[in-house]
A and B are shown apart, each in its own frame.
Chain A
Amino acid sequence: MSLFGTSSGFGTGGTGVFGSTTTDSHNPMKDVEVTSPPDDSISCLAFSPPTMPGNFLIGGSWANDVRCWEVQDNGQTVPKAQQMHTGPVLDACWSDDGSRVFTASCDKTAKMWDLNSNQAIQIAQHDGPIKAIHWIKAPNYSCIMTGSWDKTLKFWDTRSPNPMMSLQMPERCYCADVVYPMAVVATAERGLIVYQLENQPSEFRRIESPLKHQHRCVAIFKDKQNKPTGFALGSIEGRVAIHYINPPNPAKDNFTFKCHRSNGTNTTTPQDIYAVNAIAFHPVHGTLATVGSDGRFSFWDKDARTKLKTSEQLDQPITACCFNHNGNIFAYASSYDWSKGHEYYNPQKKNYIFLRNAAEELKPRNKKW
């Protein structure tokens, strides 16, 4: 068994070669491996905004750290910097100008990491772990939004220790997304709340969940005019709901689809249903990617209502994913998400972040409707 540094442990089938090119199931899609991945499960990934030249990727993990890599055009990844929390990092995001990274942790704090100075300071405090953090850039204000298991959604001016605003939620925040002027938060007990952010954040509507199982991930999508118009919501039951906020015909326009399930062709063997761990929309094409506990990622066209691609199965669940600002790179993280409980956790098992060229595979199909 390996005792050194970041070499891969047993379970990969190989001799633990770092950056292995053998076709063992840790990288069946033969995607680019990010160097120096975190040592425990990766909870979140985010690429730098277009305001910054180049591509920088940040990833938070259960090892209490958040790491930053530069992704060069030739595919090489260079670890750049790292920050620590005192508890697992659950979410991270960039400021709109790419100069700062905000991180949220189980230690109930959120930090602002200035990349230029490589300093991080605490900017938020909750009574429970912070599960979601997003930067809001409005014409008349900018702030950080944090959603926590303490059932509150707080907004912070990073210069003040007290929140600018605190909104009570019916339940613990499980996931959130922000595309100005819209924010969506999905909570425990299948809660779903939409907020509007113009002038100042306020609750806009509580929506009855289109899904029957625990909410797990949410991502807002935009219409042809680049305005947020709805969101995709994923649950633990291998299903994603596409929901428009104000569709002309909700019954026809909103729908759900099944994903991340095993076999099932033969009705005698029970079908394994996996959680959808993350959803990300391609910034240019508007198509979406889902990643699941089954260790696969899939690309979908929600307008044509078709699946574009499903990957091979990785040997670990895929816990996070994101696109870079121009949609050329799709990053996904392979690490254990606890979906099978404690017994299947192998701390020796290496965690991976893969990068894939996303320019072609996410092109929309022609509409069927």
Chain B
Amino acid sequence: MGRKKKKQMKPWCWYCNRDFDDEKILIQHQKAKHFKCHICHKKLYTGPGLAIHCMQVHKETIDGVPNAIPGRIDIELEIYGMEGIPEKDMEERRRMLEQKNQETQKKKQNQDDSDEYDDDDEPGPSFQQPAARQPQAGYVPPMTQPGMLPVGSGTPALPPGSYSGIPPMMPGVPPMIPATPPVMPGMPPGMIPMGGMMPPMMPGVPPGIPPPMGTRPAITHMPQLPPAAGVLPRPAVPAGPSVQPDVTKPLFPSAGQSQQTMSGSPHTPPSTTSDLAKPTFPAYTQSSTGLASPNAGSSTVSKPPSTVTSKPATLTTSSATSKLIHPDEDISLEEFRAQLSQYQCSIPRQGQTTSAAASVGGMMAPQQHSMRHPIPGQYGGPQQGMPGYIPGRIPPYIQAPPIVPPVYQGGPPRPTIVTRPPVMSPGGHY
């Protein structure tokens, strides 16, 4: 892979701003996503071609290119692969790419290869990519990463083989671990067995190694192969487990330190995690920031850049083309549900567990003495520990309407509590 200097940048789709490895794939993408007839699924070659087909075969007009971002839906522009792209859009693209190159250290590694997976089944609009990608020209799918990433930063494209299969992860134990880093780069996947076959393979590797190795500071500990042979017995695996996409040297000491202690005594977890945390954390936050910002009009998370400690922000759950079936709050469904007073610990469940428990009681007899909390009896003494609960309401039923409002944050556009009472027959076990 790598830069092929096609029109001085990687092939990209004018309709949705996505990047591709090469033009062939780009064309496949265009045919599948933009030039596909929504009626008969026939793939045409160009926008005008699609328009003509729809008119002649189905007697239907289409007013825009499917799955295109707003502004790029012109059905009359004859674009095929990279050909036909208006010059000003090319310029704009180049500018954005340069901008992105400078701004982001770590390239995002997100590739939505939905074309392959769900071509027939999920022909839905790839709503997300256009909006997300447009402002982020640098947000290239992983395919293009290796070529674009600065080589010197221990790139994801050069996984040092530290994790191929898990065994080599931590040093000290299997002697073959040290061999993996030199072996990994440039080796076809099938040739990375972990079963002690490393030594024989090593001599074959050096040709592939020098360029990438030279750039990775971590590898300075294992310069080239000949000394690497000497590396074998030495638990010099720090390069392995420690090489992360954006962390090279800093990780070494902690990993090295932990190595020595690994073999026996427990090391202090905080130091490890904090060492690991320091180099990675900023990048992590930064990249999330990069992702979070340009989300306009698509079903993505819109939250302030301070990702980690932000309060539960809200999601953008719907756009013109899609709707996330999820509450608006950016917390997990379980967190959302657990907030409800009915699920607060030791608050009586609504009659179900007892009756159900009773029905399966036969089998539970032996257990009763052990784990049976007063919970079954909960329906008796209800009101303790029910904050906000209005006494005088039907005791066992926690879901009486008054409880709900405090929990419900800003009730999104659904019918609200009024519908509850009919559903919730109070007073009945069932």
Measured CB to CB, the residues of A under 8 A from B are 1-7, 9, 36, 38-40, 43, 62-65, 67, 79-84, 86-88, 90, 105-108, 111, 118-120, 129, 131, 149, 165-168, 170-172, 174, 180-182, 188-191, 196, 198-200, 202-206, 208-214, 216, 223, 225, 227-229, 236-237, 239, 241, 245-252, 254-259, 261, 263-267, 270-275, 293-294, 300, 305-307, 310, 337-343, 346-348, 368
Contacts and interface: CB of A to CB of B under 8 A. Distances in A.
Given A200-B262, A342-B404, A347-B424, A40 B165 contact: no
B210 to A, nearest CB: 18
A210 B106 CA distance: 13
B116 interface: yes
Interface of B: 1, 21, 38, 66-67, 106, 108-114, 116-118, 121-125, 127-128, 132, 141-146, 156-157, 159-167, 169-170, 172-173, 184, 187-189, 192-195, 241, 244-245, 258, 262-263, 266-267, 269-270, 272-273, 276-277, 280-281, 283-284, 287-288, 291, 299-301, 307-308, 310, 315, 318-327, 330-338, 340, 343-346, 349-350, 352-353, 355-360, 363-364, 366-367, 370-373, 375, 399, 404, 407-408, 412, 414-417, 419-420, 423-425, 428-430
B46 to A, nearest CB: 19
A29 B59 CA distance: 39
A229 B325 CA distance: 32
Contact of A348 (B193, B416, B420, B430): B430
A257 B359 contact: no
A5 B122 CA distance: 41
Given A188-B331, A202-B272, A63 B352 contact: yes
A119 B113 contact: no
Contacts of B266: 165, 200
B323 A272 contact: yes
A86 B338 CA distance: 13
Leading 4 A-B pairs by shortest Cβ distance: A264-B124, A39-B352, A87-B345, A251-B142
A2 B430 contact: yes
B367 A204 contact: no
A105 B334 CA distance: 11
B173 to A, nearest CB: 6
A236 B165 contact: no
Of B321, B350, B356, most buried by chain A (CB within 10 Å of CB) is B356
A307 B117 contact: yes
24 contacts: A4-B355, A4-B430, A5-B356, A36-B356, A36-B360, A86-B346, A88-B337, A181-B167, A189-B288, A198-B262, A199-B262, A229-B165, A236-B324, A245-B159, A248-B192, A250-B156, A267-B125, A270-B320, A271-B323, A272-B325, A306-B117, A341-B412, A343-B414, A347-B399
Given A82-B357, A248-B189, A213 B273 contact: no
Contacts of B163: 204-205, 229, 245-246
B336 A338 contact: yes
B204 to A, nearest CB: 15
Contacts of A271: 124-125, 127, 321-323
Contacts of A106: 338, 343, 345
A248 B353 contact: no
A307 B118 contact: yes
Contact of B325 (A190, A294, A307): A294
A199 B356 contact: no
A3 B373 contact: no
A165 B132 contact: no
A273 B324 contact: yes
A136 B90 CA distance: 54
Contacts of A36: 356, 359-360
Given A190-B307, A259-B118, A342-B417, 15 more contacts: A9-B430, A62-B337, A105-B345, A213-B324, A214-B301, A216-B333, A227-B165, A227-B167, A241-B110, A264-B124, A271-B321, A273-B323, A293-B326, A339-B327, A339-B333
A208 B287 contact: yes
Nearest to A348: B430
A250 B122 contact: no
Given A84-B353, A307-B118, A206 B428 contact: no
Contacts of A339: 325-327, 333
Nearest to B319: A270
B370 A119 contact: yes
Contact of A63 (B189, B307, B349): B349
A211 B112 CA distance: 9
B198 to A, nearest CB: 14
A170 B319 CA distance: 30
B299 A273 contact: yes
A310 B124 CA distance: 16
A43 B332 CA distance: 13
Contacts of B156: 250
Nearest to B108: A208
A1 B425 contact: yes
Given A189-B307, A250-B142, A346-B423, A196 B170 contact: yes
Nearest to A369: B116
Given A39-B353, A181-B166, A339-B325, A205 B345 contact: no
Contact of A86 (B245, B375, B429): B375
B110 A87 contact: no
A187 B58 CA distance: 49
A343 B125 contact: no
Contact of B327 (A111, A254, A305, A341): A341
A250 B145 contact: yes
Contact of A347 (B117, B128, B352): B352
A228 B163 CA distance: 9
Contact of B112 (A4, A198, A229, A256): A256
A80 B357 CA distance: 12
Contact of B111 (A2, A84, A254, A293): A254
A118 B370 contact: yes
Contacts of A174: 332
A267 B322 CA distance: 9
Nearest to A339: B325
Of A196, A229, A250, most buried by chain B (CB within 10 Å of CB) is A250
Contact of A87 (B164, B336, B346): B346
A212 B301 contact: yes
Contacts of B161: 246
Nearest to B367: A118
B113 A64 contact: no
B29 to A, nearest CB: 14
Contacts of B416: 343
Contacts of A306: 117
B370 A120 contact: yes
Contact of A250 (B157, B273, B334, B344): B157
B325 A273 contact: yes
